[in-house]
Amino acid sequence: MKKVIVKTLTLLCFMAGFMLQAKAQNVTLVVTNTNGTEQTYQLTEESQLHFENGERLVIENANGTNFTWQLSDIRKIVCAEMTGTEENKASKLQILPNPSHHQVYIKNLSGNSQGRIYTLDGRMVKAFEASEGMMLDISDLSEGMYLLSINGQTLKLMKL
Q: Are residues 127 and 99 in the same domain?
A: yes
Confidence at residue 69, expressed as pLDDT on a 0 to 100 scale:
83
Range of the domain at 139: 94-159
Domain count of the chain?
2
Confidence at residue 82, expressed as pLDDT on a 0 to 100 scale:
57
CATH of residue 114's domain is 2.60.40.10
CATH of residue 62's domain is 2.30.30
* Mean pLDDT in order along the chain per 10 residues (160 residues): 47 46 59 84 76 81 82 77 52 88 92 92 93 94 94 90
Q: Is the pTM of this model over 0.75?
A: no
- Last-in-domain residue among 87, 102, 132: 87
- Last-in-domain residue among 87, 108, 138: 87
CA 55/CA 158 separation, integer angstroms: 23
Q: Are residues 83 and 113 in the same domain?
A: no
Sheet containing 66-70: give its strands across: 48-52, 56-60, 66-70
